[in-house]
Homo-oligomer: A and B are copies of this chain.
Amino acid sequence: MISVGVIGYGYWGPNLVRNFADMDGARVARVCDMSLKRLELVRRRYPGVPLGTDPRELIEDPAVDAVVIATPVASHFELAMGALKAGKHVLVEKPLAASAEEARRLIEEAERRRLVLLVDHTFVYTGAVRKIRELVQDGGLGDIYYYDSVRVNLGLFQHDVNVLWDLAVHDLAIMDYVLDRQPAAVSATGMSHVAGSPEDVAYLTLFFEDSLIAHIHANWLAPVKLRRTLIGGRRKMIVYDDIEPSEKLKVYDKGITVHEDAENIYKLLISYRTGEMYAPQFDTTEALAVEARHFADCVAAGTRPVTGGEAGLRVLRVLEAATESLSRRGELVEVRT
């Protein structure tokens, strides 16, 4: 039995509380939020759970084994570090921290104290993304040519981070898990359209050691919600459309054959291979339920989570390089390692 305390009951916190409440072998031991109105909602839904507005009280509560942090990114480091120092395991919203340096220190602290530090890269726990990793890693796609993702909607502007930190972070987390490779350098462009706000539209290209290229389009100002990823391999290609109510994942047993056109020497003809498209089955359990279970398992067994501090750090290194390139209108910036 793991007893979790949840800090932050805003947009995402309710999902975390619900999943730990529903999970066998877990209980919600305390919930903390700055807003009394939000706490009243918790009280109505979970009558017996102790509440409070002070995160320190929760962190120090001996009934709490693990602290779940669902607050704005600026507060992640202080809350997570406080929880680790109080000997608690930590599950923290993405991105892990406000900088790679902060992430590095959290990782060290968790290592030193042998505590579990899990960053909530939610999509990694979906059946769709786990299936994509399987398809990529077993070589069925062949060499990967490109990874292209569009993640746009009319969404919550963040005042402290640009749209890459809010939306592209999901794609970076998925790529980190699916490709198992790190980008060498990035080029990012974007624009802010609300005075005093960070970039609300941004484009990020990632270069790797070989001819793999990745690109993410993130946008808070789109009239429609799009969540579509294309992954092109030499042998097969994937379309992953998270908006589709069913058949989110399609695998195209297609590719190109290069041959000279006898009739027209000015052209290389690239033709479809004759395979078909298929939509593989995958586990449709709610991602947060899988993640919550994985967190509890790691705590129980003392093992490292799939999306541990290192994954969070790798994503932050790319975000930092991207932000630097963004300020220089696309200039290439290397990703530190």
Determine if A247 is an interface residue (Cβ-Cβ < 8 Å).
Answer: yes
Known: A230-B152, A278-B276. A224 touches B205 (CB 8 A): no
Kindly state the separation between the CA atoms of A211 and B170 in the bound complex, as whole angstroms. 26
**Of the candidates B155, B158, B197, B267, which one forms a contact with A159 in the assembled complex, judged by CB atoms under 8 Å apart?**
B267
Which segment, of A115-123, A173-181, A328-336, faces chain B? A328-336
Q: In the complex, which residues of chain B have a beta carbon less than 8 angstroms from the beta carbon of A263?
A: 10, 35, 37-38
Q: In the complex, which residues of chain B have a beta carbon less than 8 angstroms from the beta carbon of A266?
A: 72, 74, 159-160
Determine if A165 is an interface residue (Cβ-Cβ < 8 Å).
Answer: no
**Of the candidates B230, B243, B330, which one forms a contact with A187 in the assembled complex, judged by CB atoms under 8 Å apart?**
B330
**Nearest CB of B to A298, in Å:** 22
Q: Which of A41, A47, A152, A203 has the most CB of B within 10 A?
A: A203
Kindly state the separation between the CA atoms of A222 and B232 in the bound complex, as whole angstroms. 7
Interface residues on A, range: 35 or more
Cross-chain contact B211 with A189 (CB below 8 angstroms): no
Cross-chain contact B47 with A46 (CB below 8 angstroms): yes
Query: With contacts A189-B205, A247-B277, A276-B281 known, what are 9 further pairs, Cβ within 8 A?
Result: A21-B44, A47-B47, A48-B48, A191-B213, A207-B329, A221-B237, A223-B277, A276-B279, A328-B332
Interface residues of A (CB under 8 A from B): 10, 21-22, 35, 37-38, 41, 44-48, 72, 74, 145-146, 148, 150, 152, 154-160, 185, 187, 189-194, 197, 201, 203, 205, 207, 211-213, 215, 217, 219-225, 230, 232, 234, 237-239, 243, 245-247, 250, 252, 254, 256, 258, 263-264, 266-270, 272, 274-281, 325, 328-332
